[in-house]
Amino acid sequence: MWAVSTLTMLLLAGILPDFRLRSADGDSATDIAVTAALGAGAFGLLSALVWPLLVRLLLLVPALVLGLLVFFLNGALLWLALYVNPVERGSAAPETAVVVAAVMSAVASATGAALAVRDDDAYRRRLYRLADRRRGSAPPCPTTPGTVFLQLDGVGHDVLLDAVGKGLMPTVARWLGTGTAGDRPSHRLTPWRTDWSSQTGASQLGILHGSNHDVPAFRWYEKARREVMVCNRPTSAAELQARAIEYSGHAGLLAHDGASRGNLFSGGADEQALVLSIATRRRGPAARSRAGYFAYFSDPANAVRTALSFVAEVGREIGQSTRARTRGQRPRVARGGLYPFVRAFATVVERDVVVAAVTGDLLAGRTAVYADLVAYDEVAHHSGPASRDTEKVLQRLDRALALIENVAEHAPRPYRIVVLSDHGQSPGETFRSRYGLTLGDLVRAGCGLPVPRRARRTHSGAEARAAVRAALRRPVEEGAEHYRPSRGSEPVVLASGNLGLVSFPDVPHRMTKEEIDARHPALLPTLANHPGIGFLLVRSERHGGVVLGAYGAEIPLDELDDNPGPLAAFGPGAADVVRRTHTFPHTADIMVNSFHDPADGEVLAFEEQIGSHGGLGGAQSRPFLLSPLTLSPPVADGAELAGAEQIHRVLRRWLTESDEAESTAAQDNRRAA
């Protein structure tokens, strides 16, 4: 690597006019080579010794700002390396030093990776050194298997199978035994059904903490608090986590020697990085959460590689969106503004940092790790669940799985890798683009309120945006005042994918159908009979709860099994999840689910998304669970795996099986002694 860095420095000195390795009166080729070798060596040493100290001094700098400072700090180190060079010949202009340092770091990273790939022994030695450094004085690792749970955010069961069939995910294909000839399956693939609120907040809260009770949507209005709760707002995430712990009676899935990486919630883990529920705090756990960024950026080669990949991803998104616009692709949503940078963060920065954190956990021998990779979900919202853009993302996610599997082979204990998703995504155009008005406009019309002539775009609740804001120390994703009505009697209308919620803030309780009809006689018929609406859920004084549909359909909840009415198009299990949501204390006055076409799986999002999730309809409600055959089956043959809380019980059982194996091994050792 020193030799390659020396050659790189010589090449750059010949290309860049403000970078030289000779004195003003000229030097021999040997002197220039010695200058380059000493400069490259000094730069390597400074990068290894000084850079980690600089990163620790910059712990108060927002993570993404640190990523930008990488280039300038690297340039300063190169300038210092030339200054301390004992032959005193090299020099570089400040802006040129930044370029030279970036190129040298990238080349060093590529060289190190190439050497590791070609030399398994060198790769293994490096991993063991890292493992020893991370373990430090920690007690010896158990010999029983640890478990890694990797969440591929938004990847539906059918999308995964389609990607495997197209050869986009060879690692998953090998695990399923459908790769090359002779592959024997090591994992089983099980679909599962989400709750009505098919989004990361509800699913991950249930998976990690065992309860998603009273999470009716991605965002909802709580009348007692006069506040809008948003799952990806750090203050709301912290509150939801506290409620789930109180309701379930335990700290979470990861309470025993666990690590939580890139999630909305901690799962009770002691080790947390990039966890949104603690991102509101400036010190203590919040600093520990952001430590994942700093641990990754402490290697300048990592930082430069990720920064260059970030820029490439921004360019890729701009090119793809321009191509979609010029071809007149439909459906389509706006992809300008900050979105290219949000996408690059989700598909590059967040992925690299989370994978690096998981790698560290494996080398440290942690018992349980849960990590969320949001790349697919973010791109699918804007490009569509089955687009060429998302196929590229799935390929990169598969490479991340392969890397984690490779590192697990060198960990101090064996690991079982479980891959799962929290929900899928359903395609379809937006409600606004099809009908020229938003759900809020339709509600206002039904209430007899003035409707703007031009429909405004609704906010998109993609999870990656909150992660970016947390990294920038701007954790509040959206303020409650954004939804505060101008007059107390006006409804608050919120969107969660293709699920809408209508609340009347001046009424302290959940309104009944009879009360809504008395106040706004045209509202419920206007909504129920609109072609873009699938069904409504409202409370009833007579029946307790009813589902409303077109042409006057009104089905009490306890009769849905015999007469599903408008729920028939949404498939098995729809009645169960609707009945469950009806029991939540903070269910909205009117719950609105969009139209769903069973023939093509399309829904109409109330947000600006052409791939959406959050309600019922299509692939969004059908995620997957990919588990090793060495673990017990998730459910008995023929049984359905339904609800995030059941997923929690399955994962908890698997961890218990590991604990029992450890206890049995300890007893056997005592008997042998």
pLDDT at 264 (0 to 100): 93
- Taking Cα atoms as reference points, which of 657, 645, 631, 627 lies closest to residue 191? 627
Inside any domain, residue 92: yes
pLDDT at 521 (0 to 100): 96
pLDDT at 328 (0 to 100): 80
pLDDT at 464 (0 to 100): 62
Separation of alpha carbons 591 and 334, rounded Å = 27
Q: Which tokens is 333 given?
A: 């949503």
Longest dimension (CA), the chain: 98
| DSSP 8-state assignment for residue 606 | S
* Containing structural domain, residue 68: 2-118
Q: Which of 210-214, 223-227, 305-309, 543-547 has the lowest mean pLDDT?
A: 305-309
Q: Which residue has the higher pLDDT, 2 or 317?
A: 317
- Taking Cα atoms as reference points, which of 383, 482, 382, 378 lies closest to residue 440? 482
What is the tally of structural domains in the chain?
1
**Is residue 505 a contact partner of residue 226, using CB atoms and an 8 Å limit?**
yes
Inside any domain, residue 579: no
Separation of alpha carbons 517 and 515, rounded Å = 5
Residues 6+ apart with CB under 8 A from 292: 261, 262, 273, 274, 353, 354, 356, 357
Return the SS3 of 189: strand
Residue with tokens 């390795």: 21
Inside any domain, residue 26: yes
Helix axes 120-135, 94-118, angle to 10 degrees: 110
Mean pLDDT of 396-402: 94
Inside any domain, residue 6: yes
pLDDT at 469 (0 to 100): 60
Residues 6+ apart with CB under 8 A from 224: 508
**Is residue 279 a contact partner of residue 322, using CB atoms and an 8 Å limit?**
no
pLDDT digits (tens, 9 = 90+) for 127-170: 455 555 555 555 677 888 999 999 999 999 999 999 999 999 99
Mean pLDDT of 66-71: 52
Q: Which tokens is 178 given?
A: 């459908």
Inside any domain, residue 36: yes
Separation of alpha carbons 392 and 386, rounded Å = 11
To the nearest 10°, report the CA torsion of 248, 251, 256, 261.
110
Per DSSP (E only), the strands in 167-324 are 187-191, 219-222, 227-230, 258-261, 271-273
| DSSP 8-state assignment for residue 469 | H
Model confidence at 283: pLDDT above 60: no
**Is residue 594 a contact partner of residue 549, using CB atoms and an 8 Å limit?**
no
pLDDT at 323 (0 to 100): 87
Distances from the Cα of 204 to the Cα of 151, 200, 209, 214, 360, angstroms: 9, 5, 8, 14, 23
pLDDT band at 478 (very low <50, low <70, confident <90, very high): very low
Inside any domain, residue 169: no
Separation of alpha carbons 39 and 614, rounded Å = 56
pLDDT digits (tens, 9 = 90+) for 298-315: 666 676 677 778 888 889
Model confidence at 214: pLDDT above 50: yes
| DSSP 8-state assignment for residue 424 | -
Inside any domain, residue 61: yes
3-state helix, strand, coil in the chain (%, to 5): 50, 15, 35
Residues 6+ apart with CB under 8 A from 280: 234, 235, 238, 286, 475
Return the SS3 of 351: helix
Q: Helices marked H in 16-169 — which ranges?
A: 29-57, 63-83, 94-118, 120-135, 157-165
Inside any domain, residue 22: yes
Q: What is the pTM of this model?
A: 0.82
